[in-house]
Structure 1
Amino acid sequence: MMDAALQALKQYFGYDRFRTGQDQIISRILNGQDTVGIMPTGGGKSLCYQIPALLFPGVTLVISPLISLMKDQVDALKDVGIQATFINSSLTFSETNERLSAAAQGIYKLVYIAPERLEVSGFVRILEHMHVSLVAIDEAHCISQWGHDFRPSYRAIPAMIDRFARRPAVVALTATATPRVTTDIRKLFGIEAEGVVATGFARDNLNFQVVRGQSADVFLLDYLRKNRDQPGIVYAATRKEVDRLYARLTQQGLAVGRYHAGLSEKERAASQEQFLYDDLTVLVATNAFGMGINKSNVRFVIHYNMPRNIEAYYQEAGRAGRDGEKSDCILLFAPQDIRLQKFFIDQSDMDETLKQAEYHKLEQMIGYCHTETCLQAYILRYFGERNPSGCGHCGNCLDTREKTDVTVNAQKVLSCVKRLRERYGKIMVAKVLAGASEQKLRSLHLDRLPTYGIMKEQTQKQIGEFIDFLTAEQYLVQQGGAYPVLALAERSLPVLKGEARVLKKGHIRAERLAVDDALFEVLKQVRKTLAQKEFVPPYIIFSDQSLREMSARLPATDHDFLMIKGVGQQKLEKYGHAFMQAIAGYQAEQKNAVN
Structure 2
Amino acid sequence: MIETTLQKYFGFKTFRPKQRNIINSVKNRQNTLGVLPTGSGKSLCFQVPGLELEGITLVISPLISLMKDQVEHLNRIGISAEYLNSTLKKNEIKNIMQDGLKGRYKFLYVAPERFNNEEFNQFVRNLNIPLVAFDEAHCISKWGHDFRPSYQEVIPAIQSLIPEATFVALTATATEEVQENIQELLDIKDEHVVLQSIKRDNLHLIVNKTYQREQFILSYIQERKNMSGIVYAATRAEVEKISSYLKDQDIDNVIYHGGLGKKERDDNQHAFVSNKVNIVVATNAFGMGINKPDIRFIIHNNLPGDVESYYQEIGRAGRDGLDSECILLSSERDVNLHQFFIDRSNGTDQHKDHMRNKLDRMIQYNRTSKCLMSFMVKYFDADEYVKACGHCVNCLSNERTYNMKNEAKTVLNLIQDTKTPLTKEHIIQVLRGERSENILFNGLDQSRYFGLMESYLTGELHHILDELILNGHVHFKNDHLHLVDLSFYILKENKDIYTVPFRKHFKEKVNVSTASSPNETLFQKLMDKRASLAEKYGVEEESIFSEGMLKEFTRKLPMSKQDMVHLAGVGNYKLKHYCPHFLKVIKQHRECLTTHNQNPKHKSPQKN
The bucket for the TM-score relative to the shorter chain is 0.5 to 0.7
2:387 aligned partner, one-letter code: S
Structure 1 residue 252: Cα displacement: 1.4
Query: In the TM superposition, what whole-angstrom CA distance separates every residue of 1:265-285 from its partner, at most 9, and x where no partner exists?
Result: 332222112112211211111
- Match of 1:300? 297
Q: State how 1:469-548 maps to structure 2 within 5 Å.
A: none
SS of the equivalent of 1:218 reads helix
What is the TM-score when the length of structure 2 is the normalising length? 0.64
- Between the aligned partners of 1:383 and 1:195, the Cα distance in structure 2 is 18
- Between the aligned partners of 1:10 and 1:204, the Cα distance in structure 2 is 27
Structure 1 residue 165: Cα displacement: 5.7
Query: In the TM superposition, what whole-angstrom CA distance separates every residue of 1:19-56 from its partner, at most 9, and x where no partner exists?
Result: 11101000111111110111111111000011111111
| Bigger mean CA deviation after superposition, 208-217 or 353-362 | 208-217
Q: Is the 8 A contact 1:61 1:132 kept in 2?
A: yes
Structure 1 residue 402: Cα displacement: 9.0
- Match of 2:185? 188
Q: Is the 8 A contact 1:300 1:320 kept in 2?
A: yes
1:348 aligned partner, one-letter code: S
1:62 aligned to which of 53, 59, 66: 59
Change in CA separation of 1:478 and 1:307 when aligned onto 2, cut-off 3 Å: farther
- Match of 2:357? 360
Match status 1:339 vs 2:336: yes
Q: State how 1:228-267 maps to structure 2 within 5 Å.
A: 228-267=225-264
- Between the aligned partners of 2:369 and 2:337, the Cα distance in structure 1 is 24
- Between the aligned partners of 2:80 and 2:43, the Cα distance in structure 1 is 15
1:221 aligned partner, one-letter code: L
- Match of 1:390? 388
2:179 aligned partner, one-letter code: T
1:64 aligned partner, one-letter code: S
Structure 1 residue 242: Cα displacement: 0.7
Once superposed, which parts of structure 1, at least 4 consecutive aligned residues long, lie more than 4 Å away?
Answer: 474-479
Q: State how 1:58-97 maps to structure 2 within 5 Å.
A: 58-97=55-94
1:400 aligned partner, one-letter code: N
Q: Is the 8 A contact 1:53 1:109 kept in 2?
A: yes
- Match of 2:148? 151
SS of the equivalent of 1:223 reads helix
- Match of 1:311? 308
Q: Is the 8 A contact 1:59 1:110 kept in 2?
A: yes
Q: Is the 8 A contact 1:336 1:478 kept in 2?
A: no
Q: State how 1:282-301 maps to structure 2 within 5 Å.
A: 282-301=279-298
- Between the aligned partners of 1:351 and 1:334, the Cα distance in structure 2 is 28
- Match of 1:462? none
Q: State how 1:437-452 maps to structure 2 within 5 Å.
A: none
Change in CA separation of 1:85 and 1:478 when aligned onto 2, cut-off 3 Å: farther
2:363 aligned partner, one-letter code: I
Query: In the TM superposition, what whole-angstrom CA distance separates every residue of 1:517-540 from its partner, at most 9, and x where no partner exists?
Result: xxxxxxxxxxxxxxxxxxxxxxxx
- Match of 2:492? none
Query: In the TM superposition, what whole-angstrom CA distance separates every residue of 1:373-432 from its partner, at most 9, and x where no partner exists?
Result: 1101111111123242111221211223699xxxxxxxxxxxxxxxxxxxxxxxxxxxxx
1:32 aligned partner, one-letter code: R
2:274 aligned partner, one-letter code: Y
1:75 aligned partner, one-letter code: E
Gap runs ≥5 in structure 2: 402-537, 548-608
Q: State how 1:382-421 maps to structure 2 within 5 Å.
A: 382-386=379-383, 387-400=385-398
Q: Is the 8 A contact 1:83 1:108 kept in 2?
A: yes
Q: Is the 8 A contact 2:305 2:362 kept in 1?
A: yes
2:367 aligned partner, one-letter code: H
Q: Is the 8 A contact 2:363 2:539 kept in 1?
A: no
Q: Is the 8 A contact 2:232 2:281 kept in 1?
A: yes
- Match of 2:158? 161
Structure 1 residue 126: Cα displacement: 0.7
1:276 aligned to which of 270, 273, 277: 273
Q: Is the 8 A contact 2:3 2:13 kept in 1?
A: yes
- Between the aligned partners of 1:315 and 1:291, the Cα distance in structure 2 is 9
Query: In the TM superposition, what whole-angstrom CA distance separates every residue of 1:170-216 from its partner, at most 9, and x where no partner exists?
Result: 10111111111111000001111211111121122211110014421
Query: In the TM superposition, what whole-angstrom CA distance separates every residue of 1:507-560 from its partner, at most 9, and x where no partner exists?
Result: xxxxxxxxxxxxxxxxxxxxxxxxxxxxxxxxxxxxxxxxxxxxxxxxxxxxxx
- Between the aligned partners of 2:226 and 2:210, the Cα distance in structure 1 is 28
1:123 aligned partner, one-letter code: F
Q: Is the 8 A contact 1:45 1:173 kept in 2?
A: yes
SS of the equivalent of 2:329 reads strand
- Match of 1:350? 347
1:247 aligned partner, one-letter code: S
| Bigger mean CA deviation after superposition, 158-167 or 315-324 | 158-167
SS of the equivalent of 1:273 reads helix
1:226 aligned to which of 210, 215, 223: 223
Change in CA separation of 1:142 and 1:476 when aligned onto 2, cut-off 3 Å: closer
Change in CA separation of 1:36 and 1:282 when aligned onto 2, cut-off 3 Å: same
Q: Is the 8 A contact 2:306 2:359 kept in 1?
A: yes
1:187 aligned partner, one-letter code: E
SS of the equivalent of 1:306 reads coil
2:185 aligned partner, one-letter code: L
Q: Is the 8 A contact 1:200 1:385 kept in 2?
A: no
- Match of 1:216? 213
Match status 1:13 vs 2:29: no
Q: Is the 8 A contact 1:345 1:358 kept in 2?
A: yes
Q: Is the 8 A contact 2:210 2:329 kept in 1?
A: no
What is the TM-score when the length of structure 1 is the normalising length? 0.66
Structure 1 residue 160: Cα displacement: 3.1
Match status 1:173 vs 2:170: yes
Query: In the TM superposition, what whole-angstrom CA distance separates every residue of 1:434-472 from its partner, at most 9, and x where no partner exists?
Result: xxxxxxxxxxxxxxxxxxxxxxxxxxxxxxxxxxxxxxx
